[in-house]
Amino acid sequence: MMGSGRMKNVSLTTVNGIGTGTGSAGTGDAAQPAGEGQPVGEGQPAGEGQRPGAGRAGAAVRRTELAAFLRSRRERINPEDVGLPVGTRRRTAGLRREELAQLAGVGVTWYTWLEQGRPINASVQVLDAIARTLSLDTIERAHLFRLADVPGAAGPADCPECPLPPEVQRILDALPYPACVTTERFDLLVWNQIYAALFPRLVESPPSERNTLLSCLTGPSCCSPMPEQDKYSTTLVAQLRAAYGRHIGDPAWTHFIRRLEALSPTFAAIWAAHDVAQPASHTKRFRHPAFGAITTKSTSFAVTAVPGARMVIYTPDDPQSERAIARLAAGEGLTDRFPCWNAHDPQRLRLTPVAD
């Protein structure tokens, strides 16, 4: 079988958390560095991504979890490991709050408030500095950002820190049909070469743009592999709306939807209709520059390594499509492109993210 598609955890562009300002709690701290954060009123949002349905109780629980998590991570850092003297007057294990704040380059008062579970804003840059100082791994960093309610996850998948097992790619490569794995937000994670032959623009896009819905909504129709692009978009948006119900208030999901609304009037109109749908087997039509129309049935299976991810397989639905896909599986036509390909080279095109 031919070589595999790339296995990557991809990322959509996210925005920084909100909050700059100063802080004082009677400790004599200097003004806080820009971007560190500031206190907000109890029950008010501590950043744009706060879950609207969580309310005061939900926000308080999240802050309590964040405080406990930070304390536990701080206490496991040995002072000598970060170049500090051990000393003889330490009553507890790990770093002191002021030591961690100094190493991370943040104000002592601000970090103390954060670890006390106070309602303050935090930026991506500052949380990253804390994560580095605490030597957090990928899973811990993602957990920190979720607890802080800041869209700073490294990837677009709902579990970007959950890598796909290598056997998933082997399964894709062994299939004689186009196949891929996507997340609930339609971020493309892995694929086989038959799929890549049908969707060259998508798989060759930068990782942050490798999203099937985004490509469908913003890609040029002249070289789209989907002749029924509008119909396909409507189906995907309805599925996205149903999935969004499980992620209401999630900063990454909120930002992704806002971005699509800004990039695509079509998406904004379909999204406003509130239609919902679940992934199901249905007929999907493609076109290939060498082999013409290809009609398939799509079937999806859950991939439990990444929550919400599923493998989608497109089986041919008529003899002509069977022959076309068989030729692709044999290595024919993999690099054929529509005449307008050079004008729409994804390596040269970049979509501008929405600014907050």
Residue-level pLDDT at 84: 76
- The answer to whether residue 20 scores a pLDDT higher than 50 is no
Quick one: average pLDDT of 32-38? 40
User: Which three-class secondary structure state does DSSP give residue 179?
Assistant: strand
In this structure, are strands 179-182 and 188-191 parallel, antiparallel, or unpaired?
A: antiparallel
Choose between 162 and 168: higher pLDDT. Answer: 168
Choose between 48 and 211: higher pLDDT. Answer: 211
- The answer to whether residue 136 scores a pLDDT higher than 90 is no
The burial of 102, by beta-carbon neighbours within 10 Å (0-12 exposed, 13-18 middle, 19 or more buried), is given as middle
Choose between 105 and 8: higher pLDDT. Answer: 105
Q: Which residue has the tokens 């894709």?
A: 172
User: Which three-class secondary structure state does DSSP give residue 98?
Assistant: helix
Q: Considering only 187-201, 250-264, 307-321, which range has the smallest mean pLDDT?
A: 250-264
Q: What is the pLDDT of residues 194-248, one digit of tens each?
A: 999 999 999 998 888 899 999 999 888 787 888 888 888 898 999 998 888 777 6
- The answer to whether residue 28 scores a pLDDT higher than 60 is no
pTM over 0.85: no
- The answer to whether residue 42 scores a pLDDT higher than 50 is no
Residue-level pLDDT at 163: 77
Q: What is the pLDDT of residues 283-306, one digit of tens each?
A: 999 999 999 999 999 999 999 888
| Phi, psi torsion values for 53, nearest 5 degrees | -85, -5
Q: How confident is the model at residue 22 (pLDDT cuts 50, 70, 90)?
A: very low
- The answer to whether residue 69 scores a pLDDT higher than 50 is yes
Q: How confident is the model at residue 347 (pLDDT cuts 50, 70, 90)?
A: low
The answer to whether the beta carbons of residues 119 and 41 sit under 8 Å apart is yes
User: Which three-class secondary structure state does DSSP give residue 6?
Assistant: coil
The answer to whether the beta carbons of residues 71 and 151 sit under 8 Å apart is no
Question: Rounded distance, CA 284 to CA 132, Å?
Answer: 46
